[in-house]
Amino acid sequence: MIKHTLYTVVAFATLAFAVTSHAKDYSTDYEPITVAAGSVGGSWFVGATALLDLFDDNIDGLSYSVSPGGGVGNPHAVQQGEAQMAIAYTTNLHAAAEGHEPYGEPLEDLRAVMNMNITSVMHTFALQQTGLEELSDIADQEYGISIDTGTRGTGGEQAASRVLEAHGASYDNLRSWGGQITHSEYREALDRLRDGHIEAFMNDDVVGHPLFVDVTVSRDLNLLGFTPEVVDELQSSFGYTPSIIPENTYEGQDSEVLTVGQQQALFVHKDMPDDLVMAMLELVFENKERLETVHSSFENLDLESAANDLSVPLHPGAELYYKEAGVL
């Protein structure tokens, strides 16, 4: 366990553990932190806000803001110094570290803090009146569907486009059949689906997300499943994992639905001070119950696996924390 008597000789941008009677356990003079999350209303934005509220309550001098972002763009934001902390999928971090599309060159300044052990799975909701029951039906019928796949530059939108293409319904194909693809934040897109202004919504998030539950209660929808062949293709090509949405997760869903998922990770710029990262991790794992009250996905946080499968190098502060905790 990290002790509150840790000191540093670095003069700038470091965190010192408080040894006085100050109401907060830690203090920092590090620069204001911008956290790149996800779409407003999505679990990333809610989760990032919960984490930073926890840090703010316990770290004196911490200044932060949470901004919308996405799994694809967030590694760029941290690399370029537009954000100091972010959430992304491990699939995005792997591509960023290797310089694969859409990054072009390796992003070398990214450092992992923790695998959040939260899997976002792809959800495809379509109005029942479309008659669509599986994703393969779109291409089989050359159905010109009006669909929103989420904000451009997010890991969910990227995954949605890959899924559609793998099922023979690429964006270009949809347009050629008279369809329309739009890109909106969750709340806006789901409101449009509820009102019948679009026929389908497709993006990924945790199973049972409140916004998904709400829209299925207020509108008759079908949850479209994948073909096993497409699941295998997406796993081998991009690293997505096979996932199941259990039956009765949503109103009107009377059978389990095959889909794919990807795990979420918290990462920072390499220049974030070691002891600030250590303090954040200590706060996370000592306040897990508090985080769970904000979003149920925090129930999945697991110290034993937090340092695993992160795709980019561990931040030195995180590495030291996990070693002292006996899990690395």
Domain ranges in the chain?
15-119+263-325, 120-262
Q: How confident is the model over 189-213, as a mean pLDDT?
A: 95
To which residue do tokens 């990032």 refer? 48
What 3-state class would DSSP assign to 162? helix
Q: How confident is the model over 105-121, as a mean pLDDT?
A: 94
Residue 3: its pLDDT value, please?
A: 31
Of 19-28, 244-253, 290-299, the least confident: 19-28
Residues whose CB is less than 8 angstroms from the CB of residue 233 and which lie 6 or more positions away in sequence, other chains included: 166
**C-alpha 126 chain-centroid distance:** 23
How does 102-111 read in b/e, with b if 16+ C-beta sit within 10 Å?
A: ebeeebeebb
CA distances to 62, 268, 288, 295 from 301, in Å: 24, 18, 8, 12
pLDDT surpasses 80 at 318: yes
Where does residue 150 fall: left (phi above 0), alpha (psi -120 to 50 degrees), or beta otherwise? Answer: left
Q: By percentage, how much of the chain surpasses pLDDT 90?
A: 72
Residue 10: its pLDDT value, please?
A: 31
Return the number of other C-beta atoms located less than 10 Å from residue 276's C-beta. 25
Please choose, from the candidates 199, 205, 197, the residue with its C-alpha nearest in 3D space to the C-alpha of residue 87.
Answer: 205
pLDDT surpasses 70 at 17: no
User: Taking the CA atoms of the chain, what radius of gyration do you get in angstroms?
Assistant: 21
How would residue 39 be classed by pLDDT, with cut points 50, 70 and 90? confident
Residue 101: its pLDDT value, please?
A: 84
The DSSP code for 225 is: B
Q: Where are the alpha helices (DSSP H) in 123-206?
A: 136-140, 155-166, 171-176, 186-194
The DSSP code for 81 is: T
Q: What does the alpha-carbon distance between residue 14 and residue 31 come to, in Å, rounded to a whole number?
A: 9
Residue 155: its pLDDT value, please?
A: 83
Residue 297: its pLDDT value, please?
A: 82
Return the number of other C-beta atoms located less than 10 Å from residue 267's C-beta. 30
Of 19-23, 126-130, 160-164, the least confident: 19-23
Same fold, 15-119+263-325 and 120-262: yes
Residue 24: its pLDDT value, please?
A: 67
Residue 295: its pLDDT value, please?
A: 84
To which residue do tokens 């697991």 refer? 302
pLDDT surpasses 70 at 15: no
Count each helix (H run) and each strand (E run) in the chain, helices first: 12, 13
The token duo for 168 is 């023979």
Residue 284: its pLDDT value, please?
A: 97
Please choose, from the candidates 237, 148, 257, 243, the residue with its C-alpha nearest in 3D space to the C-alpha of residue 198.
Answer: 148
> Is residue 206 within 8 Å of 38, Cβ to Cβ?
no
Q: How confident is the model over 119-139, as a mean pLDDT?
A: 96
Q: By percentage, how much of the chain surpasses pLDDT 70?
A: 93
Choose from 91-100, 233-242, 250-259 the range with maximum mean pLDDT: 250-259
pLDDT surpasses 50 at 13: no
Backbone torsions φ then ψ of 261, nearest 5 degrees: -140, 175
Give me the CATH topology for the region 15-119+263-325. Answer: D-Maltodextrin-Binding Protein; domain 2 (3.40.190)
Q: What does the alpha-carbon distance between residue 146 and residue 97 come to, in Å, rounded to a whole number?
A: 35
To which residue do tokens 């964006």 refer? 171
pLDDT digits (tens, 9 = 90+) for 143-185: 999 999 998 878 889 899 999 999 999 999 999 999 999 999 8
Share the mean pLDDT of the chain: 89
Which amino acid is present at 94? H
Q: What does the alpha-carbon distance between residue 273 and residue 265 come to, in Å, rounded to a whole number?
A: 19
Give me the CATH topology for the region 120-262. Answer: D-Maltodextrin-Binding Protein; domain 2 (3.40.190)
First to last CA, the chain: 13
Residue 326: its pLDDT value, please?
A: 96
Q: Where does 185-287 show beta strands of DSSP type E?
A: 200-205, 221-223, 241-245, 257-269
pLDDT surpasses 80 at 315: yes
> Is residue 166 within 8 Å of 234, Cβ to Cβ?
yes
